[in-house]
Amino acid sequence: MRYDSPYPDFGLTAEQRREAVLGNKYEWPGMDGARGEIWCYTDRYAYRAGEYVRLQVSSTAPTYRLDVVRDGAAEQKVLTQDNLDARWQETPDQCSVEGCGWETSHEFAIPRDWPSGAYRVTLTAEGRDGAPIHCHHLFIVYPEAGRKTGRILQVAATGTWSAYNTWGGSNHYQGITGSDRNMYAPTVSMQRPFCRGFVVLPADAPRVPLQVTVPPATPARYPHMEWAFANGYSRKYASSGWASYDSHFFRWAERAGYEVDLASQHQLHFEPEILDGYDCAVFVGHDEYWTWEMRDAVDNWVERGGRAARFAGNFMWQTRLEDEGRRQTCYKYRARAEDPVYRQQDKTRTSTSWEAPEVGRPGAQTFGLNATYGLYVGWGGCAPRGVRGFPVYRPDHWAFSGAGLYYGDLLGADGHVFGYEVDGVDYIIRRGLPEPTGEGAAPEGMQILALGMSSLQEESADIPADDQFLSDADAKFVAETLVGDDGPAAVERVKRGAGMIVNFPRGKGEVFNAGSCEWVAGLLRKDAMVERVTANVLDRYLQK
C-alpha cells in the first residue's frame, strides 16, 4: 500500500523531535539574548467600554508602537500610538505562579463606541540589530448589562488559557516549581504575557489532530509540537488560546450574520448576571477549566430558561480563583495529596476532576457529558486512524435539519471535527440507537445524537511505550477517581471512551453539546454540514 501523506518534516533531528514532545520549552525574559525583546500583559483579561486598559511592558528598546485590532468578521484597526516609553523590568523566577509584578507602562481608555469582542494588541519596537521585535497580547471588551434580544454571548475559555500558558516556565502541565524545578504549578498567575501562539498564528500552523495518513506499526508523532519547536512557538499553542480555538467561532458567527458579544469566564464567576440578557450562550473549543461559581451561573441561567450551546470538549477540572481573579488554582492529579481543601470537612471545592467523589458534581449535570468518559482521539497513539467526524445515529433530530445526513453518516469528517479531546457518558446500544445507562449523571431526557470512539491512553501491541506521549497516566488517574484504584483491572474498565453530540431540556431551558474541541475546525475549514448544524442550534436558541 502506498502512503502519499507522510509526517511533515520541519527539519528536526530525531532527538529534537523527542525534545519537542517531552521537553519543557517555554518563554522567559531574556531568552532572545543580544537581539533584544519586548513583552507585555494587561492587568485584566476583560473590560467594559469606558474602562482603562493598563499595559505592563518590559522591553530592551526605549520606545515602541502600540496597535490594537478588533478581531472579528474582519480585522479592524481601532488604535495606534507611537513613541511610547518602555524599559526593562525585572521578573521574579516564579513569575508563572506569583505574577511578573511589572509596573504599568501605559494606559488608555476604551472608547464607548468600541463593540464587544476580542482586541489584539501588537507592540513593535526596534531590536538591537535594527530589525523589528514584536509582542502580541489580547483583551476582551464585554457588554454592559441589559437585555440583548437576538444576540449571542460567547464565553471565552480563559480558565483554559490560564492553565496552558507556558510563559515564565510553569503551567498546570509542566513547570519549574518544586525542589527539583520539574513540577507543574498548582497555582498560575494571569499577570504575565501570553505564550507565543495564543494570540496570533500563521495559517499553516498544524492543529493537534493528525492530518496525515499513518502507516502501520509507526511510532506516534506529534506534528503540532514539532512545528512549534522548529518555529519558536509554545508547544501548547495548539491546546488552547484565542488563535487556535475561540477566534474561529467568533469570526464565523459574525461573517454568517449573527450578532455576537464576548465575555471571559471571569464574568461568569464574578458577574453571573451577565447571562441574564441573553437567550443563547455559546462555549467553544478547548474549554477544560471551570470554577464552581461559573457552573452555578450557567446552571441557574439554564433553569430559568437560558439555552446553552457548547461546541467544545474536555469539561474536566474544577479550579478556584484567588487574588480577585488574578490567580487560578488547580492541583489536579496531586489534589488528594496536596490541596488543603481536600483535608477540610467540606471537600467539594477540591481542585480535581468534577467526577471525583469528594467533589460530587459530574460535568454531565451541567452540559450532559463528562471528560472522564471520553478524552483522546485523532492524535498520537489514540485512534490515529479513527473516524474524523461524528458517526450519526439520530439524523432526524432538529439539529441536523438541512444537513443531508443519514443514519451512519460521518458529520464533520471533511473538517475533522472529532478530536482531539472529546466528552461522553456511559451508554448502551438498543436496536441500533445509543442511550445513556445512567452512570455518570446523564441528565433526564438526554438524547445521544452522534458518537464515536475515544481512548484514555495510547495503546498498541506493536509500539513501545517509550515512543508514546500520553502513556497510561490519565487512565490510571481516572481509574483511581471513578473506581477507587489504579490497578490493571480498574484501568481496563475505564480506558475506553466515546465522544458525543447530545441534547436535553433542563428546567425552562435547553442544552446542546457537541462534545469535541475541534468543532471549530469545521467552521474554519468551511465544512458545510458543520456550518448547517451550528446555524440550526443558534437559530433555535435565538428563537429565529
Q: For residue 72, what is the domain's CATH number?
A: 2.60.40.1930
The sign of the CA dihedral 221, 224, 225, 231 is: positive
377 occurs within a structural domain? no
Closest by alpha carbon to 483, among 391, 372, 379, 406? Answer: 372
Peptide bond into 420 cis (omega under 30): yes
Burial of 192 (0-12, 13-18, 19+ CB in 10 A): buried
The model's pLDDT over 112-134, given as tens digits with 9 standing for 90+, comes to 999 999 999 999 999 999 999 99
User: Quick one: pLDDT at residue 24?
Assistant: 92
Q: Kindly state the average pLDDT of the residues 144-158.
A: 96
Region 474-480 average pLDDT: 90
User: Is pLDDT above 70 for 544?
Assistant: yes
- Torsion sign over Cα 488, 384, 447, 506: positive
**Half-sphere exposure (CA, 13 Å, Cβ side) for 234?**
31
Task: Give a yes or no: residue 387 inside a domain.
Answer: no
Three-state secondary structure call for residue 411: strand
Residue 133 maps to a domain: yes
**Neighbouring C-beta atoms of residue 101, cutoff 10 Å:** 14
pTM for the full predicted model: 0.97
Helix axes 528-541, 247-255, angle to 10 degrees: 80
Distances (CA, A) of 380 to 7, 122, 167, 210: 12, 34, 25, 8
Is 494 in a helix, a strand, or coil? helix
Q: What is the pLDDT of residue 468?
A: 64
87 in Cβ contact with 81 (< 8 Å): no
Q: How does pLDDT run across 217-243, given as a tens digit for each residue?
A: 777 889 999 999 999 999 999 999 999
> How far is Cα 186 from Cα 208, in angstroms, rounded to an integer?
25
Q: What is the pLDDT of residue 3?
A: 40
Is 467 a member of any domain? no
Mean per-residue pLDDT, 381-407: 95
Residues 158-174: what's their mean pLDDT?
A: 98
Domain tally, the chain: 1
Q: Are the C-beta atoms of 153 and 274 separated by less than 8 Å?
A: yes
In a domain, 65, yes or no: yes
Contact 488, 174 (CB under 8 A): no
Q: Nearest to residue 495, comparing CAs of 455, 440, 458?
A: 455
Contact by Cβ (8 Å): 517, 313: yes
Q: Give the pLDDT of residue 260.
A: 98
Residue partners of 507: CB distance under 8 A and separation at least 6: 302, 303, 304, 305
Q: Are strands 509-514 and 307-313 parallel, antiparallel or unpaired?
A: parallel
> Which amino acid type is present at position 465?
A
In a domain, 45, yes or no: yes
**Distance between CA atoms of 78 and 226, rounded to whole angstroms?**
35
Single out the residue of 198, 200, 309 nearest to residue 253, CA to CA.
309
Share of the chain above pLDDT 70, in %: 97
Cα(470)–Cα(473) distance, rounded to whole angstroms? 7
Cell numbers for 520: 471549530
Q: Is residue 527 part of a domain?
A: no
Residue 166 lies in a domain: no
Domain that holds residue 44: 37-150
Is residue 132 a contact partner of residue 35, using CB atoms and an 8 Å limit?
no
Q: Is the dihedral of CA 523, 524, 525, 526 positive or negative?
A: positive
